């Protein structure tokens, strides 16, 4: 296992590991037990994202993309954005119910 990314805190390490996992790399976060040493203040420099030796080059490319703010979404099977679709219909239904309740008086 190689260190692909040295995170500022455990949360960032899990975000990067999730990003790598979403792109097909097996990533693991290390340093969980070292976080509590500073109490409520997050201990910096102890959280690392590890990948297999053969995945190190690809992982570092993805980390550079992450740090640059690259927004390359992982391709989904269906191509539609279901949560957004349902949220719009829910808000429309809520607005209609609100108008009806106001007009009932």
Q: Is residue 27 part of a domain?
A: yes
Strand partners, 5: 49
DSSP one-letter code for 4:
E
Question: What is the Cα–Cα distance from 27 to 62, expressed in whole angstroms?
Answer: 12
**Which pLDDT does position 75 carry in this prediction?**
47
Q: Is residue 84 part of a domain?
A: no
Alpha helix (H) ranges present in the chain?
Answer: 10-22, 56-67, 82-104
Q: Is residue 63 part of a domain?
A: yes
Question: What is the Cα–Cα distance from 68 to 62, expressed in whole angstroms?
Answer: 10
Q: Is residue 98 part of a domain?
A: no
**Which pLDDT does position 22 carry in this prediction?**
92
CATH code of 58's domain: 3.30.70
Range of the domain at 66: 2-77
How many C-beta neighbours within 10 Å does residue 20 have?
Answer: 23
Question: What is the Cα–Cα distance from 57 to 4, expressed in whole angstroms?
Answer: 8
**Which pLDDT does position 81 carry in this prediction?**
56
**Which pLDDT does position 70 carry in this prediction?**
58
**Which pLDDT does position 51 carry in this prediction?**
92
Q: What angle do CA 63, 64, 67 make, to 5 degrees?
A: 85
Q: Is residue 91 part of a domain?
A: no
59 and 25 in contact (C-beta within 8 Å)? yes
Domain count, the chain: 1
Q: Is residue 45 part of a domain?
A: yes
Q: What is the pLDDT along the chain (105 residues), one digit of tens a residue?
A: 888 888 888 888 899 999 999 999 999 998 776 655 555 555 556 788 999 999 889 999 998 988 888 555 554 455 555 667 777 888 888 899 989 888 886
């Amino acid at each position: 296992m190689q260190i692909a990314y040295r995170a500022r805190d455990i949360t960032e390490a899990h975000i990067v590991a999730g990003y790598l996992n979403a792109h097909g790399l097996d990533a693991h976060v290390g340093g969980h037990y070292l976080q509590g040493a500073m109490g409520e203040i997050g201990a910096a420099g102890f959280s690392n994202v590890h990948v297999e030796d053969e995945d190190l080059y690809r992982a570092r490319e993805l980390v550079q993309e992450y740090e640059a703010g690259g927004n390359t979404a992982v391709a989904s099977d269906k191509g539609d954005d279901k949560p957004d679709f349902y949220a719009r219909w829910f808000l429309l239904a809520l607005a209609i119910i609100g108008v009806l309740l106001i007009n009932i008086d």
